[in-house]
Structure 1
Amino acid sequence: MDLSSLRPAKGAVKTKKRVGRGQGTGNGTTAGKGNKGQQSRSGYKRPINEGGQIPVYRRLPKFGFTPIDRKPVTTVNLSQIARWIEIEAVGKEISILDLKNLCHASSSEYFKVLGNGEISVAITITAHAFSKSAEEKIVAAGGSVVKAERTLQEAARVKDLSVDDALLKPKAKVVKVVKPKVKKS
């Protein structure tokens, strides 16, 4: 046996069905597309057309809306954090930058720590939000939680502060100033 005698198994290689190549082939004339109509023609077919039936976009009601200020939230469980500590991916202090790198998240995302799992090591963790159970478990293990006010993207824009300090600095509240009306005499 040599390389020139190798052949594919019988029935393994099928010839491609060539449509529209004469009536004798069995796939001529209409090329398997049936008679007339939009589906028999070439080109784009609108998925919206349902042929006289009320289409889905009219059948179902409008519902809800997309909030303009929606914040993408990345959740991190205590079980994940415990695993990271176990494999020494993080130290005793976990910053938002660590969470961003380990979760492969964007710098505009908020991080919330959830209480799924157990933690036995005292750690200090910085995140935007903590579930009640996560906060209790971290404090019970001898650790502490630090709540950040800004995303990494927002913190990078703050002048005269490092990113770590800017994360914790509260955002300025916009106060509407009402000017008293002066009566004309």
Structure 2
Amino acid sequence: MKLNELRDNPGARKVRTRVGRGIGSGKGKTAARGQKGQKSRSGVSIKGFEGGQMPLHMRIPKRGFNNPFGMDYAEVNIGMIQKFIDEKKLDAKKDIDHAALKAAGLAKGGKDGVRLLGKGEIKAKAKLIVHGASKGAVAAVEKAGGSVEVLPKPKHDGGQGDKAPKGKAFERAAAEKAAGKDGKKAK
């Protein structure tokens, strides 16, 4: 085979049909859309439209609740931390925090931090810096000679984004809440 003989497999390169280019093309005038009606026009969005009857996504029952104030923690078990230390993916001599766990591939997701859970056992003497920990996990780490530092909960705007009260507006709202219903300051 020579370079000038290189070809794609038959059917691998298919030229796009150009519609609305005259009678001779066979796809002229109405451009293979038929005549009139909603589907013949541009900007049509009828996917999921059921002719005016109640659509399926509105008919089925809804369950659950998305808490705007809920925290998203990456849950990490102490047994997995020990496994990663044994595999030299984590260094027990250094502080093990969210960044170190993420770099090792152990803390997936968890935009609000890491929560330590007590499944498995830990033998390494390590200092863990996390955003939450179960009592069993803390006891197991301390029994192994390590320590657990629990960071304070991060501030949350309740899903309001830029609309969350900030600065003086926030302070005024807090003062009004502290004042109570009758407008007098709470003692």
CA-to-partner distance for each residue in 1:74-122, whole Å, 9 max, x for gaps? 222334422442325333442455446654878x713201234442212
Structure 2 equivalent of residue 167 of structure 1: none
Q: CA deviation at 1:54?
A: 0.9
TM-score under structure 2 length normalisation: 0.58
Question: How does 1:28-177 map onto structure 2 within 5 Å?
Answer: 28-45=28-45, 47=47, 49-56=49-56, 58-60=58-60, 65-86=65-86, 87=88, 89-92=90-93, 93-96=95-98, 98-99=100-101, 103=107, 109-151=112-154, 176=178
Structure 1 unaligned regions, length at least 5: 155-173
SS at match of 2:39: helix
Tell me how many residue pairs correspond in the alignment.
160
Amino acid at match of 1:112: R
SS at match of 1:138: helix
Query: Following the alignment from structure 2 to structure 1, what is the Cα–Cα distance between the partners of residues 61 and 77?
Result: 37
CA-to-partner distance for each residue in 1:5-54, whole Å, 9 max, x for gaps? 32333343333233334566554454444554323211252556332221
Change (3 A) 1:47 1:5: closer
Indicate if the aligned counterparts of 1:73 and 1:109 stay in contact, CA closer than 8 A: yes
CA-to-partner distance for each residue in 1:123-174, whole Å, 9 max, x for gaps? 23222222355334424433333322244x89xxxxxxxxxxxxxxxxxxx9
Query: Following the alignment from structure 2 to structure 1, what is the Cα–Cα distance between the partners of residues 121 and 97?
Result: 19
Deviation larger for 108-117 or 26-35 = 26-35
| 1:14 is the counterpart of 2:27 | no
Indicate if the aligned counterparts of 1:38 and 1:45 stay in contact, CA closer than 8 A: no
Change (3 A) 1:37 1:78: farther
What is the aligned-residue identity percentage? 36
TM-score under structure 1 length normalisation: 0.59
